[in-house]
Structure 1
Amino acid sequence: MVTEHKKHVNVSTAIALYVSSVLGGGILVLPGLTAATAGAGALIAWVAVSVICLPIALMFGRLSSALPDAGGVSSFVRNAFGDTLGDLTGWLYFWVIPFGQPAVMLSGLAYAHYEFGLPRTATYVLAWVILCSSCILNIIGTRISAHAQSAITGAIIVLLFATILVSFPKVHAEAYQPLLPHGWSSVGSAAALIMWAYVGWENVSSIAEEFRNPKRDFIISIVVSMVIIGGLYAGSTAAVLGVVPPGQQDIQTAPLALVLRLAVGSWASWLATAIAIMIVVGSATAIIWGTSSLGASLARSGSLPGKMAIRNSKGSFQSSVLVLLAAYTIVLFVMYLGWVQISDAAMIVGGSAVITYGLCALAYVRLTRPKRLTSWLPPIITGIFVVALLPFFGKMLVVQFLIAFAYFGLRSIFRRGLIS
């Protein structure tokens, strides 16, 4: 007798999953980076990206309905176009995480640099020690729990909401004038930075099949999640713009702590710093766990060395974790030398996300074969968004080019087992 699978996801559960998947440590610096890039125009960028990400999220949910056993964006592309593009999509995720995670770590520790005068060299050394420790914890089988991940998400929400709340009495309306101090092109540049904050919709799209009432609840959960996330992101940026005087240097490194110090006092800034450090330290283990599993999946498909798919006695993909640690070390050193900035890392991660979203839009058309206009809207909007935004990533797209070049150059070597 076959037991029917019980669908257990309701609206509140889905909202919690979506919010926790998208909210990340990058928001610690993005309000300041986008404000410095586009001035008050950053608010236009935040609202625009938030609205455009709605059909993208709906597209991923529809893809998961078509492929309920799908394991992510690489699976969508693999089913539509074959192993080559599927593996390449996986590479575009796996090899940009070594840029994104060190940048997140440095963004949190930048608050310690701002608040306590932590020397620059010590900041980078501490970032490496934390990442190294997180890798070791993964190797010995210690991973972040769902409760701990929920606590991290809660800390981000508290920090953003507190920043918005206390800033209201201190906001100066004239701070939002002129609206476009650097022209419309700066809004595009800010939007490219913002994509770092919205990576994550694809990670939970598979829950679309678990809804009790999918036709109603799926769309409701996506819309409510977007309102929450977009409101927190845009609101915190508005707080930075409205409270921090123009030209303040720390706006790009510790913007939320700076707003809290100006609006409430030094004690609030200290609290923000403690929360920021907790966020990035706590998230490191989860990111390494998920990325090492992706590396193992790519190894099983033959596009990375086979040894990366082997678990150790603790159940960890040890070789995959060590590859990540080596990549983290190289990127941190390059960032320490000043060759790559946190904003550059944000562009690199966002660039890969936008490219893979474009591939998924094509996969959507091929796999679902939409017939109604409403079914065509998500891939069409996604495609227009991808084409419009890609030029703003500029020279950072060379990283995706190098990843693709390396993939096509090395895949035959891995598949023949010449490098195990």
Structure 2
Amino acid sequence: MSFARTLFRVKPAEQLSAEGSHTELRRTLGLVPLVALSVGATLGTGIFVVLAEAAPAAGPAVVVSFVLAGVAALCSALSYAELAGSVPVSGSAYSYAYATLGELVAWICGWCLLLEYGVSVAAVAVGWGGYLNEFLQGTVGARIPDVFAAPPGEGGLVNIPAALIVLLATGVLLLGVRESARATTITTLLKIAVLVFFVAVAFTGFHSGNLTPFAPSGLAGISVGASAVFFSFIGFDAASTAGEEARNPARDLPRAIILSLAIVTAVYVLVAFAAVGAVGVDVLGHSDASLATALRLVTGQTWSSVVLAFGAVVAIASVVLTVLYGQTRILVSMSRDGLMPGVLSKVNRRRVPARNTLLVGVVVAVLAAVVPLNQLAEATSIGTLVAFGLVNIGVMVLRRTRPELPRSFRTPLMPIVPIAGLGLCVYLIAGLNAVTWATFGIWTAVGLVVYFGYGRRRSQLNRG
């Protein structure tokens, strides 16, 4: 096989599925924990702060912006659902690209996911420390000093809370997948309950006058709002990283992906509608903690914002746990394929990739503790959008090259849906800033050095 052909050799879907069926991971996850995994990864800090960005642009029609963003995310979710049912393994978009677009593209996809998962966990952990301080201030009247709650360059020495939540999540993952799934389900239900509490309280102060004019900037404003809120939908694909720990992956993974997106969209629309109706877009647009501000204005007291701060603490902890889990499972797949060191796919007696989990947990904890992540965190979005785009391409390629492959779910309106999903990804990527592109370029260059220096020579496909 020529050098060029080795770069684009695919790993057949049957081979990937066969390797996944003989996994050393423990198959314990049913539909409910899989849905909780995806909802837990998606329903995080976004809804607590995103209204402040989207409401001024869209006006009360920000509710429509959430619906539009949900429909846009659905295009990629349907592509994920088909590939998750066809290639039910732990690698998510990485494995799907390997089965459709070839090894080099799969490597780039996996490398992008490592950037997105790793840095986003660290950035989310930093945000967790801020909400923890707000919760402590409202309950016991004290807060963690900035020197121990912020990294160098941002007024502190080390961000202990950020590192602590990452290490705590790592410890939960080391207990086993059943215990991790139980923790994820509990925290996901708690944060949904807090958001339902917000909706119930906000509706007591609802004024229909706050909904007029409904779309002051017209369709253009709704579109700008949809772009702003789209990133709060990222995470619905988390269930696809659990393909080898699901009891019936071919049946449950597609269902979990679509159900989780439906749940998240419904929650977002209800929260946005209640918040706008309660206080109006002007108030929401002038507050970083828009939901907490809305509750204080409706109730005239601070206790309700303390409850919301508790919800944010739970929500962010849940995101740290689920996204950290996803990164370790992607590394398992890359390691088993020979593109990463074999030690990363070894499991312990609890059937957990312990060394992999410890390595990821420590690295992310250090990042969260000492690195200012504001600009770097923004760069994680490009990794997600690249993965989404490749999945939309991959589902079309697999339909054409392997029409006879068994599929437990089929993307409707082929190829309109994946083309729409791909178009949205291209549109959003094109709008990212120069810092994001520079970070992505450097990360990709490092990844190519690793692939050509290590992964290509050690690929399991060389043994075929």
Q: Do they fold alike, i.e. is TM over 0.5? A: yes
Match of 1:409 in 2: 449
Q: Look up the match of 1:270.
A: 306
Aligned to 2:94: 74
Structure 1 stretches lacking a partner, 5+ long: 1-7
* 1:91 and 2:111 correspond: yes
The residue number in structure 1 matching 2:251 is: 210
Q: Would the alpha carbon gap of residues 317 and 63 (structure 1) be closer, same or farther in structure 2, given more than 3 Å must change?
A: same
Match of 1:335? 372
Q: Which amino acid aligns with 2:334?
A: L
CA distance, structure 2, for counterparts of residue 10 and residue 322 of structure 1: 28
Output the CA distance in 1 between the equivalents of 2:149 and 2:221: 30
Map 1:5-404 to 2 at 5 A: 19-20=39-40, 22-35=42-55, 39-40=59-60, 42-69=62-89, 71-115=91-135, 116=137, 118=143, 119-124=145-150, 125-134=159-168, 137=171, 141=175, 144-176=179-211, 190-205=225-240, 209-210=250-251, 225-244=260-279, 246=282, 251-252=287-288, 254-264=289-299, 265-310=301-346, 315-318=352-355, 321-330=358-367, 333-335=370-372, 339-340=374-375, 345=377, 347-369=378-400, 374-395=413-434, 396-404=436-444
CA distance in structure 1 between the aligned counterparts of 2:42 and 2:170, rounded to whole angstroms:
26
How far is 1:73 from its partner?
0.9
How much does 1:235 deviate?
2.2
Q: Residues 67 and 11 (structure 1 numbering): CA distance in 2 closer, same or farther, change over 3 Å? A: closer
1:136–1:20 CA distance, 2 compared to 1 (3 A) = closer
SS in 1 for 2:433: helix
For residues 372-418 of structure 1, the C-alpha deviation after alignment (integer angstroms, 9 at most, x for no partner) is: 98222221221222222222333324333222121112222333899
Q: CA–CA distance in 1 between the matches of 2:218 and 2:126?
A: 30
Whole-Å separation in 1 of the counterparts to 2:169 and 2:430: 35
Paired residues of 1:167 and 1:263 also in contact (CA < 8 A): yes
- Equivalent residues of 2:36, 2:188 under 8 A apart: no
TM-score normalised by length of structure 2: 0.71
Range with greater deviation from structure 2 (394-403 or 353-362): 394-403
Partners in 1 of 2:34 and 2:450 — Cα distance?
Answer: 39
Write the deviation string for residues 82-110 of structure 1: whole angstroms up to 9, x where unpaired: 11111211111111223312332333433
Count of aligned positions? 398
Identity across aligned pairs (percent)?
20
* Contact 2:69–2:227 (CA under 8 A) maintained in structure 1: no
**2:91 aligned counterpart, secondary structure:** coil
Give the direction of change, closer, same or farther, for the CA distance of 1:202–1:12 in structure 2 (3 Å limit). closer
Give yes or no for contact 1:26–1:104 (8 Å, CA) kept in 2.
no
In 1, the alpha carbon distance for the partners of 2:456 and 2:105 equals 19
Query: Which amino acid in the other structure matches residue 180 of structure 2?
Result: S
* 2:167–2:361 CA contact under 8 A, matched in 1: no
Do the aligned residues in 1 keep the contact of 2:91 with 2:333 (CA within 8 Å)?
Answer: no
DSSP 3-state at the match of 1:210? helix
* 1:285 to 1:111, Cα distance in 2 relative to 1, 3 A: closer
Displacement of 1:233 in angstroms is 0.8
Asked if structure 1 preserves the Cα contact closer than 8 Å seen for 2:237 and 2:257, the reply is no
SS of residue matched to 1:374: coil
Q: Distance in 2 between matches of 1:308 and 1:223?
A: 30
Deviation digits for residues 270-300 of structure 1 (CA, Å, limit 9, x no counterpart): 2222232233335534433332232343344
Q: CA RMSD in A?
A: 3.9
Cα distance change, pair 179–332 in 1 and its aligned pair in 2 (3 A) = farther
1:313 CA drift (Å): 7.7
Check the 8 A contact 1:358/1:386 in 2, yes or no: yes
Deviation at 1:326, TM superposition (A): 2.8
Shift of the 406–241 alpha-carbon distance from structure 1 to 2, 3 Å rule, reads farther
SS at match of 1:362: helix
Structure 2 counterpart of 1:61, one-letter code: A
Offset of residue 209 of structure 1: 2.2
